[in-house]
Amino acid sequence: MKILVLNASPKGKNSTTVHTALYLQALHPEHSFTFLPVGQRIRSYEKDFAPLRAELEQADLILFCYPVYTFIAPYQLHRLIELIKADGVNLSGKFASQITTSKHFYDVTAHRYIEENCFDLGMNVIRGLSADMDDLLTSQGQQEARNFFDQLMFSCNHGLFVPPPPQVPCREKEVYQPSLASVPKTRKKDVVIVTNYSPEDINLQNMITDFRAALPFESRVVNLREFPFDGGCLGCFGCAITGKCVYKDGFDQFLRTTIQSADGFVYAFTISDHYTHSSFKCYDDRQFCNGHRTVTHGTPIGYLVSGDYKYESNLRMILEGRSEVGGNYLCGVATDEENTKENIQALADALVFALEKKLSRPANFYGVGGMKIFRDLIYIMQGMMKADHKFYKEHGIYDFPQKQKKRILQMKLVGAMLAVPSVQKKMKGQMNQYIIGPYKKVVEQAASQNSGTAKGR
């Protein structure tokens, strides 16, 4: 079988991820492997796509090989997908799979993003391998890589593919016209609208116009397509200690002074390729100059999205996950699918309410799980990621369970008591009452406080 490995890591041959594919190549000389460092050559493919087109056409299996960057694939791979679709090269019927390395932080959304775009291209998708960064160095990780390849070949031979999602109904998109009257800008808050619209994104531009009209705050619009990015994140970890990016385009300073200084963020984009234009992904990845630090924790955010958002379950997960991990209160997502004006007004009202009340909510699984991965990662790598380590210490993110010595001792005592038959007999049927007792006291105290407040009036 002719296997084309698209190495989308910006590190090229020095990529951890691509070594899993090289390992499989060494074990399977009966197959023809071709490796292309597409992550490093993305600008050359923008100028001349023909060499890549020829390789794509000759391949039987296309293996996307990349590190997971900020919930999805690196910017370089997003741009490559745009180029493949724009070229129109026929990949229908070819096999597609993927190999990624990460610490399993939202690897599921990265894999689904690639799968969704492969479905768009008519490819037969086979579930990929999501490996830890260190897996190839262990006997278990090597065995899992071998198992993956065996399963990959078996699936190709027996037609065992990932089932494609239901087709999105074709609908003619209505042009949205601004219709909200501008309210007086009387309140002193700074709201930044980060977008990547092009001249063709009429709906998105009009949605931004209406949103700004509905806000009682002054707002600013930052169009990422206008920023002179030197390139996407290189994954070089040059910023791990200093917090400064190796690029000299000034993005780190721009990010901190122009965007992260705002009181509230609104991200506005048009859906394309199951995310949005690659310029936004470049922005996402370059934010790694902040490392794994949740520097905007507590800042409310909202989204203006043009497109069939309700059919993009993976995108919805990404947007929610980002707000949860970042500790940002998600005010909502306004789309132009239906009732656009009402959606925009509701989002503006929600942002105002969040800013005035300084709203927050406890993190759900997306936030708790994501931060526990980062917590353990940074603790282990503290000698290298010094800025992250300092931030995590200062903000109490190192909440390891072994630190809860009092709680652990209490549970041991309870366990010892419950092991006594006489205690078991006495507690029979009453455990819930003991558990719920402290909660009842909280409710009673709230009722008492409310009663005292009412009398004071």
Q: What number does CATH give the domain 187-365?
A: 3.40.50.360
Over the stretch 390-410, which tens digit does the pLDDT of each residue have?
999 999 999 999 999 999 998
336 and 347 Cβ atoms separated by less than 8 Å: no
382 beta partners: none
270 and 201 Cβ atoms separated by less than 8 Å: yes
For residue 342, give both structure tokens: 């009402």
Over the stretch 157-191, which tens digit does the pLDDT of each residue have?
999 999 998 888 877 778 999 999 999 998 789 99
121 and 92 Cβ atoms separated by less than 8 Å: yes
For residue 273, give both structure tokens: 């390729």
Over the stretch 80-101, which tens digit does the pLDDT of each residue have?
999 999 999 999 999 999 999 9
Q: For residue 429, what pLDDT band results from cuts at 50, 70 and 90?
A: confident
pLDDT at 243 over 80: no
d(Cα 365, Cα 270) in Å, to the nearest integer?
Answer: 27
Q: For residue 224, what pLDDT band results from cuts at 50, 70 and 90?
A: very high
For residue 202, give both structure tokens: 């009429």
Mean pLDDT, residues 203-214: 98
| Average pLDDT value over all residues in the chain | 94
| Type of residue at 275 | Y
- % of the chain with per-residue pLDDT over 70: 98
List every span in the chain annotated with CATH 3.40.50.360.
2-158, 187-365
Q: Are strands 61-67 and 124-125 parallel, antiparallel or unpaired?
A: unpaired
- Phi and psi, residue 102, nearest 5°: -170, -175
d(Cα 134, Cα 111) in Å, to the nearest integer?
Answer: 19
Q: Where are the alpha helices (DSSP H) in 194-312?
A: 202-214, 239-242, 251-254, 278-286
d(Cα 124, Cα 140) in Å, to the nearest integer?
Answer: 28
For residue 429, give both structure tokens: 């049927």
For residue 43, give both structure tokens: 């600008």
For residue 100, give both structure tokens: 């990624």
Question: 2-158: which CATH number, 3.40.50.2300, 3.40.50.360, 3.10.20.90, 3.40.718.10?
Answer: 3.40.50.360
From residue 274, alpha-carbon distances to 118, 141, 204 in Å are: 11, 31, 16
pLDDT at 35 over 90: yes
145 and 131 Cβ atoms separated by less than 8 Å: yes
216 and 180 Cβ atoms separated by less than 8 Å: no
Q: How far apart are the first and last CA of the chain?
A: 81
User: What crossing angle do the helices spanning 365-380 and 313-326 adopt, rounded to 10°?
Assistant: 60
What's residue 457's pLDDT?
60
- DSSP 8-state symbol, 104: S
CA dihedral 452, 454, 455, 457 (to 10 degrees): 130
For residue 396, give both structure tokens: 């109490």
Q: How many CB atoms lie within 10 A of CB 354?
A: 21
Mean pLDDT, residues 324-352: 97
pLDDT at 455 over 70: no
Q: For residue 456, what pLDDT band results from cuts at 50, 70 and 90?
A: low
Mean pLDDT, residues 287-292: 91
36 beta partners: 6
From residue 261, alpha-carbon distances to 53, 192, 239, 366, 420 in Å are: 44, 9, 20, 25, 59
Phi-psi region at 48: left, alpha or beta (left = phi > 0; alpha = psi -120 to 50): beta
pTM here is 0.94
Written as one string, the DSSP assignment of 397-430 is: ----GGG-HHHHHHHHHHHHHHTSHHHHHHHTTT
pLDDT at 454 over 70: no
d(Cα 270, Cα 287) in Å, to the nearest integer?
Answer: 21
Residues 6+ apart with CB under 8 A from 162: 115, 125, 126, 127
CA dihedral over 321, 323, 324, 325, signed as positive or negative: positive
From residue 115, alpha-carbon distances to 4, 48, 133, 164 in Å are: 16, 26, 21, 9
